[in-house]
Amino acid sequence: MNRPESVPRSSADDRALVLAARGGDAGAFEEVLNRHQERVLRVIYSILKDPMDTEEVAQDVFLTVFAKIDTFRGEASFTTWIHRIAVNAALMARRRERPGVTVSLEETMPAFYENGHIAVDVADWSDQANDPALRAEASAVIQQAVDALDDKYRTVFLLRDVEGFSLEETATILELGVPAVKSRLHRARLYLRRALAEYFERRAEPPARKAQEG
């Protein structure tokens, strides 16, 4: 489900609003922030997870937008432009101790025979994923898995699946080709699937074995 915009707006409108805001127009300023602030902040916050860092980066991003609006031509989408600035700024500010998980297809895809047929059984816990009683735990598993992912998969996932940008918009924001976006998106989804599979399959283990594991 995408996050819809209620009224179609052109990038030329955004450009005009930003120029007016820069000139001190309070109404234009409010409108620019109403349109973009929440989503931009959420994207930055998803990457940085720290409110203070987010505040600092967000301020820089909007100042950059206001300062550089003259270089924005209005042919490309204003929304992808501002989000590109935001993602780049957030990624630069991110101080990661270790690199995130690189998703291996070997670990996240099932085994296949040489003829391409699947060689294993696959448990179907998709109904349980919607079970309200398990929701809190499953969500925690997901959150942890998303946080563990390397930025190159995580940002694609955040932009496409969480924020609802199209593949093309995501590609523009991240300055990647669409095939690269699809590949990283697929790997992110595989990784999350595996994290949940481990969780649900552990839950399904018979109690005796769980007790032995202590």
Partner 1 sequence: MDMETCKEVLDALTEYLEGDLSDLERQQFERHMEGCVPCDAFFSTYRASRDLARQTLRLEEVPIELQVRVRRFLQQRLGIAS
Could you tell me the CA-to-CA distances from 84 to 3, 90, 118, 145, 210 in Å, in that order?
A: 18, 10, 40, 24, 47
Sole binder of partner 1 in the list 17, 35, 36, 46 (CB under 8 A): 46
Stretch that binds partner 1, among 9-17, 77-85, 91-99, 142-150 (CB under 8 A): 142-150
Structure tokens at 91: 């990624």
Quick one: 75 or 141, whose CB is closer to partner 1? 141
Q: 67 and 160 in contact (C-beta within 8 Å)?
A: no
DSSP helix/strand/coil, 76 = coil
Q: Per CB under 8 A, does 148 bind partner 1?
A: no
Sole binder of partner 1 in the list 17, 47, 58, 82 (CB under 8 A): 58
Q: 157 and 146 in contact (C-beta within 8 Å)?
A: yes
Structure tokens at 163: 């924020």
Q: Per CB under 8 A, does 4 bind partner 1?
A: no
DSSP helix/strand/coil, 104 = coil
Q: Per CB under 8 A, does 53 bind partner 1?
A: no
CA dist 20 and 29 (Å) reads: 8
CA dist 199 and 97 (Å) reads: 26
Structure tokens at 101: 């998980």
Tokens 């003259």 correspond to 70
Q: Which residues, listed in sequence order, are joined to residue 118 by a DSSP beta bridge?
A: 112
Give min distance, CB of 133 to partner 1, in A. 14
Binders of partner 1 among residues 70 to 129 (CB under 8 A) are 109-110, 112, 115-118, 120-126, 129
Stretch that binds partner 1, among 6-14, 35-43, 71-79, 87-95 (CB under 8 A): 35-43
Give min distance, CB of 208 to partner 1, in A. 25
Q: Per CB under 8 A, does 51 bind partner 1?
A: yes
Q: Which residues bind partner 1 (CB under 8 A)?
A: 1, 21-22, 24-26, 29, 33, 37-38, 41-42, 45-46, 51, 54-55, 58-59, 62-63, 66, 109-110, 112, 115-118, 120-126, 129-130, 138-139, 142-143, 146, 157-158, 161-162, 167, 182, 185-186, 189-190, 192-193, 195-197
